[in-house]
Amino acid sequence: MLALVAVTGVWGLTFVQVKDAVALYPVFAFLALRFGIAALALAPPSITRVRGIGRGGLGAAVFAGLLLAVGYALQTFGLERTTVSSAGFVTGMYVVLTPLIALAVYRMHVAPAAWGGVALATIGLAMLAGVHGGSLVGDVLVLGGAAVYSLQIVVMERYAQLYDPLAFTFVEMLAAAVGLGVCALPHLAVPRGWTVWGALFVTGIFASALAFLIQMWAQQRTSATRTALVFTLEPVFAAGFGYWLAGDRLGPIGALGCAVIMLGIVLAEPVAADVLVRLLRRPAAS
């Protein structure tokens, strides 16, 4: 559990680092290098396993990687336009959206608590949108990224158990790097300065490649529900680092909006965990 908390803390810290980095370096180029570094880090233990996942695994991993690329692009462009704290809490809404995505894609029944979580999170988002330090456009872009993350989670939870997780994630990271790299071609240049390189190192190695390995190791030793509950701490870490390192001052209304979003996330979290467990038990052909 402590390993998962550490991973979640790193994810919270990266909101500050990424916001500073993309102020100096183009978003698509930064993300392409981030996932390229993650793929390189995963390559040594993974590359010999790739053949074993077959065409079906390759196709699923590439699709998951492209979803990851879209999600991170939306989140990062939104982070440019809003505060670290707002971006962290809005990103956390993927927990609220996951049951709804499962309902839309697989027509799975979801408990009423999920709708309550959506209602609370929407109210909190509306409160955040009125905060002077944030931006409605930025928050909406981050929300779009959270929705794509939810779709990616549902897709991966549904099919990734069929394939070797290390090889699958390597291909996923590589696909994200290639997709983002194509978008970054007009802006590719060698990064300069520790702000950009430091963010690339932390996000590529720790927040992507190493975080996945720790998550895989920890999930073999704890339940999906407890894992999901730990991951709801990400917005809290993002808000803390935003306050201490980025100077975020949301004021009473913004803080209350974050609290309401967090309440919605906590309310929907058991429903999201239950949905993922039910996805694991469904036959792959359905």
Over residues 28-42, mean pLDDT:
95
Q: Checking phi first, is residue 135 left (phi over 0); if not, alpha (psi -120 to 50) or beta?
A: beta
- For the record, the structure tokens of 211 come out as 């975080």
Domain boundaries defined on the chain: 2-183+192-281
Of residues 128, 126, 103, 127, the one with CA closest to residue 115: 103
Q: In the chain, what percentage of residues exceed pLDDT 70? A: 77
- Better pLDDT: 221 or 235: 235
CA distance 233 to 239: 10
Q: Which of 98-112, 192-206, 217-231 is predicted least confidently?
A: 217-231
Give me the count of residues in the chain. 286
pLDDT digits (tens, 9 = 90+) for 191-221: 989 999 999 999 999 888 888 777 656 655 5
CA distance 117 to 263: 7
Confidence of residue 252 (pLDDT cuts 50, 70, 90): confident
Q: What pLDDT sits at residue 169?
A: 86
- Better pLDDT: 29 or 106: 29
pLDDT digits (tens, 9 = 90+) for 135-145: 778 888 998 99
Confidence of residue 284 (pLDDT cuts 50, 70, 90): very low
Assess whether pLDDT exceeds 70 at residue 279: no
Element at 182 (helix H, strand E): helix 165-184
Of residues 175, 168, 209, the one with CA closest to residue 62: 175
CA distance 35 to 65: 10
First vs last C-alpha separation in the chain: 33
Q: What pLDDT sits at residue 256?
A: 78
